[in-house]
Amino acid sequence: MARRSSTPTSSQAARSPKAAARLRERECFVYIQLPGTTDIVTCGRFVQEETVIGGAVGRFVYGRTYRLRPDAVPLDPFNLPLSDRVYTTAKLGGIFGALRDASPDRWGRLVIERALGRTDLTEVDFLLQSPEDRAGALSFGRGTTPPPPVWEYNRVVQLPELLEAARLLQEDPSGQSIPDAIRHAELLLRQGGTSMGGARAKSVVEDEEGLWVAKFPERGDRWTNAVVEGAMLSLARRCDIHTPSTRVQLVGPHAVLMVKRFDRERLGPDANGDSRYLRHRMVSALTVLDAEESPTDRRNWSYLLLADELRRWSRRPREDRQELFRRMVLNALVSNLDDHPRNHALIAPGKEWQLAPAYDITPEPRPGQQDRDLAMICGRLGRRARRANLLSAAARFDLSTEDANAVIDRMVSVVRAEWEGEVRRQGGTDADCAAIAPAFVHEGFEYDVVEQGP
């Protein structure tokens, strides 16, 4: 749905001064760091409007100056290709997927609401209030010209303060009980902890190697999460799956998982001695699939459809489709049932896209339940995490049934033999291993009964 217009907001702004003011509050300019450079330029304007029935519609238009640049790249090559059109969407609450991917999720939104003392923020507010640690290459502002880039980040040595601030904010989201003595740490948390996606408490920190996402423990954890998630990513590497660099770092008695940012590439220091970074465009599989976020509307939540999309998105479609198959198999073998489309992504280190490294792999043990369902469709039996179901769609991943079966056989052997050793190498305890043991190569994985998919 698109129409031509000189501006996406002219007709609405003319209604009344009050309406125009409300509209301005829901407008922002979109900036992008161009591939291979540290140049940040304005690429377009976004506005989110309320509808008469209580919903929202988003509109985006590229700026003419940006479109005429020889180095201009689209935010999304298929849903937002470079053109003079005004793009319109009612999905995701009236925000385009490529923009929503740069916005914070649950944890980041909590921190922003706490910092502003408000709970009535719009999607544009979250875009504008997020610091520059957000995923991908986009940023947002009120002005037509981008502000100078910010290269300052929290340091690894500040992890104790950040961990304590995160703990207190989880315990009291209102912030009323946070002592004045650590309010500076709360600000540090906001400076580097609000824009990365996901629900878990986290912050972005820097060391001599570059930028890391520090994922903090939470009160409701049933095992040492940093140890277990770190072990799952190590297990993925043993299964020929690309992952970011990781390490488990102890902060006092607490284990923090450090995950290297794969959408940032460190350069030499600037004139002031501060680090500089290339920022790579990044979109979630939710955006690639043009899907809704609600788990009640899973029509496009599908590994099969994602494999199809890789044919046109990826610069290496065959390699990426076969890796996606291995990721799907690993999620089935370790009972990672939170493999929703936001936990998969594509990245563009240059002008072309490819499958991003795997992340957010965590087991979900379910004692007494012999079957497992993944979050996304993985075969003709729907979401059922069974060998037969995974094999039924092998051709969509550019694999023969024989080759796909060999891949599964090898991965079953690796997971069975190595999962506990990986957990212990990361610092896991007997209690950690006992808690997650039912997750691995569950009995239902080898069921071959043919049934109607959900």
Residue 177 has pLDDT above 70, yes or no: no
In which band, very low, low, confident or very high, does the pLDDT at 3 lie, cut at 50, 70 and 90? very low
Task: Give 80's strand partners.
Answer: 76
In which band, very low, low, confident or very high, does the pLDDT at 4 lie, cut at 50, 70 and 90? very low
Residue 169's pLDDT is 78
Residue 147 has pLDDT above 90, yes or no: no
CA distance 404 to 402: 5
Q: What's the average model confidence in pLDDT over 263-285?
A: 87
* Range name among 78-87, 119-128, 195-204, 209-218 with the lowest pLDDT average: 195-204
pLDDT in tens, 8-62: 444 444 455 555 445 556 899 999 999 999 999 999 999 999 877 778 899 999 9
The helix or strand, by DSSP H or E, that contains position 20, with its residue range, turns out to be: helix 17-25
In which band, very low, low, confident or very high, does the pLDDT at 454 lie, cut at 50, 70 and 90? very low
Q: Which of 422, 403, 245, 415 is nearest to 330 (CA)?
A: 415
CA distance 75 to 66: 12
Topology adopted by domain 154-260: Phosphorylase Kinase; domain 1 (3.30.200)
In which band, very low, low, confident or very high, does the pLDDT at 222 lie, cut at 50, 70 and 90? very high
Contacts for 294-303 with beta carbons within 8 Å, 24 or more apart?
A: 295/340, 295/375, 298/375, 298/376, 298/377, 300/341, 301/340, 301/341, 301/375, 301/376, 301/377, 302/376, 302/377, 302/378, 303/328, 303/374, 303/376, 303/377, 303/378, 303/393
pLDDT in tens, 48-57: 998 777 788 9
Residue 168's pLDDT is 81
Q: Which of 217, 185, 186 is nearest to 113 (CA)?
A: 186
Q: Which of 70, 73, 14 is nearest to 44 (CA)?
A: 73
Residue 95's pLDDT is 93
Pairing of strands 40-50, 27-33: antiparallel
Reduced to 3 states (helix: H, G, I; strand: E, B; else coil), residue 12 is: helix
CA distance 175 to 179: 9
Beta strands in 343-430 (DSSP E): 345-348, 354-355
CA distance 168 to 84: 48
Residue 154's pLDDT is 79
pLDDT in tens, 346-380: 999 999 999 999 999 999 998 766 789 999 999 99
Q: What's the average model confidence in pLDDT over 273-289?
A: 92
> pTM of the entire structure?
0.89
Instruction: Please state the domain extents for the chain.
Output: 21-141, 154-260, 283-446
Residue 293 has pLDDT above 80, yes or no: yes
Q: Which of 402, 446, 288, 448 is nearest to 353 (CA)?
A: 288
Annotate 366-394 with b (16+ C-beta within 10 A) or e (fewer): eeeeeebbbbbbbbebbbbbbbbbbbbbb
pLDDT in tens, 416-448: 999 999 999 999 999 999 999 999 999 899 987
Write out 124-145 in H/E/C secondary structure. Answer: HHHHHHCCCCCCCCEEEECCCC
Q: What's the average model confidence in pLDDT over 222-242?
A: 97
